Amino acid sequence: MSKVRTNSVQSIIGMILQNIPSDAAVTKIEYEGPMIAIYTRNPRYLLENNAIISGIVKSIKKRIVVRTDESIRKGEEEARKIIMSMMPKEVGIVGTFFDTALGEVTVEVKKPWMLTQVEEEDGGGGEAEYREDAGEGGSVSEAGFSSSTSSSQTQAHIQRQRQVQALVVDLIDSTGWKVRIRKASHIPSESMKQVNYAKKLFASERYRLLRNVGESIFRPRLLEGTEATLVTLGGFSEVGRSCMLLMTRESRILLDCGINPGASEPINAFPRLDMLGFDLEEIDAVVISHAHLDHTGFLPLLFKHGYRGPVYCTEPTLPLMTLIQMDMIKVAAGEGELPLYTERDVREVIKHTITLPYKTVTDIAPDIKLVFANAGHILGSATVHLHIGNGDHNIVYTGDLKYGRSQLFDSASWNYPRVETLIIESTYGAKEDVMPSREEVESNFVGSINKVLMEGGKVLIPVPAVGRAQEILMVIDHHMKAGKMVEAPVFIEGMISEASAIHVAHPEYLTRELRQRILEVDDNPFTSEYFTIVEHSSQREEALREGPAIIMATSGMLEGGPVIEYFKGIAKDARNKILFVSYQVNGTLGRRVLDGSRQISLMGRDGKIEVVDIMAQVEKIEGFSGHSDYNQLIAYVNKLKPKLRRVIVNHGERRKVENLAGSIYRIFKVPATAPMVREALRLY
């Protein structure tokens, strides 16, 4: 096969057609966002002979997806019946979602292990992806069922994957729809439903949109060069409203788009997009590192103000950020304020979002390739690797980073083929920000809870819904099962269960151990027998009834949410404990309680002031953070050091970013800066 050097669509199509046998029955070749879609009337042929596609990917260095031609797609009802009849009854099909823009059906099953083994990353099977971990320029490995085959996987495991792949190919062949199999959550996720609803509603628009996005990505490059300028719009020398613009000769890419919910003045709450000097429509793409509000909260406003381009993030980030954005609307309404944006704007975000798996090289502009990799921070959190121009300039933006293992996630990825510019967070960038070891943290936590439970008391843990809550649930389940923590019922209320459901539906983003428990055996840790989900406020009485118990509820800083009702009940008894596991911002009720207030006033539901005396014990366990501590940040830079030319420190209080930048310069002799918001930096 000859190498194709130009980017023109004709030459790509010509090259593909030249290399595909007529048996493949290709009907059309089109852009689908950052991929090239090959439509076929004989999907079985291309899926079973995947060397054909691999060869083409290797040659054109673009992502390719095989799509079924509309003419062979059965009606949804008929296709659903075929799927039901062909899949073993025992897997328990919970639902099917037909994505008409892509011709793809997602089948949610209760017991994927009954299929022997399900590969989650790409249920389509038999396709090729352009991967980064294979070395310079990327090389091809087979995606679908064999892509993630690592040396440690057993023969039996591979064998099982092949069996499922064969079933999936049969399903595609019989229905004419691309089939993905996904583990169903123990409880249905509202946010995932909202995402699917919007996808269905805007199917034809999305189809057109993906073609347009492809056209602007694959247009020929006008200029050569690897220069880039970074404009700091938010989250520099501060925490909150993370946002920056990367400008190359050809493109304008926004990295993250958050708000600062704690800011008192609007000028400090939102990214400083006012200083761009051009319209939002001129931004080519938005890349989102993870779902937290301080990285995604402004995104719906971007659409409200006219942006219509693509948003790139990982698959779980989409429902998680939808959950967080919708919650912001609810919170505003609850406080009698006008929300910043409406559901319609959130749906615009969904409509324009293109999800990418980890470690897959994707063109997002004529001169920029993007690769996401695990950041270890929350579900779907990603480091952002941008490869500029001909590849001589590589930028890694860490987003929020956990370089250290947790119960939920592997430690952040660091093995990028090249990195010249590093943009690293600094939430815990001060010298004294050193956390105890993970073992110590967990043993402090277990000890603290045991003392209370043994005396017959209750422990109230205020938690943010996404991330920390699931980590704490895993820790509790682990230690109760191991006999180290006193067994007691764990009551969970607030958005926690919704976020947990999204975790269960994306096990490929969790540690291998959790993934196997969820997918391969009937041992979903989120449905532990210790956990009780509180669905109605009437159930709170049960949680507060006499006897030892653990109660987890949102919000994490006692600023509203169901945790307040529990707080009133728990606070009055000296046997009980209020246990904080996350940072308490100055000015919040959580901070006041932690600082030793023994009496606080709350606004009751009827508008009357309620005085609560705090007799309960109050404690904070340090070290459960989803962020790296100072030592982990330095260790991470050390891993990348041989490749670095420059480090930019962001996401931290002024004192912390300055300290981290100073340390990096002193230890590694690499120029390191900590810019403020509203600076423009030449990167190369």
Footprint of Zn ion (CB under 5 A): 292, 400
**Cβ at position 242, least distance to Zn ion in Å:** 8
Of 259 and 388, the one with the shorter C-beta distance to Zn ion is 259
Comparing CB distances to Zn ion, the nearer of 250 and 400 is 400
Q: Is 670 helix (H, G, I), strand (E, B) or coil?
A: coil
CB of 60 vs Zn ion, minimal distance in Å: 36
Nearest to 626 by CA among 376, 347, 271: 376
Q: For the CB of residue 364, give the shortest distance to Zn ion in the complex, in Å.
A: 22
**Cα(497)–Cα(554) distance, rounded to whole angstroms?**
11
Distance in Å, CB of 244 to Zn ion, minimum: 15
Please state the closest distance from residue 625 (CB atom) to Zn ion, in A.
Answer: 10
Residue 177 or 397: the one with the smaller Cβ distance to Zn ion is: 397
User: Are 289 and 320 in contact, with CB atoms under 8 Å apart?
Assistant: no
Angle formed at CA 270 by CA 335 and CA 623, multiple of 5 degrees:
80
Q: Which one, 178 or 292, has the nearer CB to Zn ion?
A: 292
Round to whole Å and give the CA distance between 386 and 158: 33
Q: What is the DSSP string of 579-607?
A: EE-S---TTSHHHHHHTT-SEEEEE-TTS
Is the CB of 400 or the CB of 471 nearer to Zn ion? 400
Tally of CB atoms within 10 A around 139:
16
Report in angstroms how near the CB of residue 617 gets to Zn ion at its nearest: 29
Nearer to Zn ion, 24 or 243 (CB): 243
Smallest distance from Zn ion to CB 400, Å: 4
C-beta closer to Zn ion: residue 104 or 400: 400
**Closest approach of Zn ion to the CB of residue 424, in Å:** 14
Q: Going by DSSP bridges, is the β-strand pair 382-388/368-374 parallel, antiparallel, or unpaired?
A: antiparallel
For residue 379, which of 463, 311, 290, 299 has the smallest C-alpha distance?
Answer: 290
Q: Look at residues 600, 526, 590 and name the one whose alpha carbon lies nearest to residue 560.
A: 590
Our measurement of the distance from residue 240's CA atom to the centroid of its chain's CA atoms, rounded to an integer in Å, reads: 18
Q: What is the DSSP string of 592-645?
A: HHHTT-SEEEEE-TTS-EEEEE--SEEEE-----SS--HHHHHHHHHHHGGG-S
The kind and range of the H/E element at 79 are: helix 76-86
On whether the CB atoms of residues 311 and 183 are closer than 8 A, the answer is no
State how far Cα 269 lies from the chain centre.
23
Report the alpha-carbon distance of residue 8 to residue 217 in Å, rounded: 11
First to last CA, the chain: 35
CB of 290 to Zn ion, least distance (A): 6
Pick 292 or 387: Cβ nearer Zn ion: 292
Say whether 259 sits in a helix, a strand or coil.
coil
Helices (H), 127-238: 155-175, 190-201, 203-217
> How far apart, in whole angstroms, are the C-alpha atoms of residue 179 and residue 169?
8
User: Shortest Cβ distance from residue 224 to Zn ion (Å)?
Assistant: 36
* Least spacing, CB of residue 9 vs Zn ion, in Å: 39
Q: How far apart are CA 561 and CA 552, in angstroms?
A: 11
**Closer to Zn ion by Cβ: residue 400 or 477:** 400
Return the structure tokens found at 339: 């929300």
| Least spacing, CB of residue 296 vs Zn ion, in Å | 10
377 vs 387, which CB is nearer to Zn ion?
A: 377
Q: By C-beta, is 122 or 400 nearer to Zn ion?
A: 400
Q: Are the CB atoms for 603 and 398 separated by under 8 Å?
A: no
* Nearest alpha-carbon partner for 526 in 510, 541, 548, 545: 510
Nearer to Zn ion, 33 or 235 (CB): 235
Nearer to Zn ion, 183 or 292 (CB): 292
Cα 529 from chain centroid (whole Å): 27
Q: Which residues contact 561 (CB under 8 A, 6 or more apart)?
A: 494, 553, 554, 555
Residue 292 or 393 with smaller CB distance to Zn ion: 292
- Least distance in angstroms from the C-beta of 639 to Zn ion: 21
CB of 585 to Zn ion, least distance (A): 14
- Helix pair angle (51-60, 9-19), 10° resolution: 150
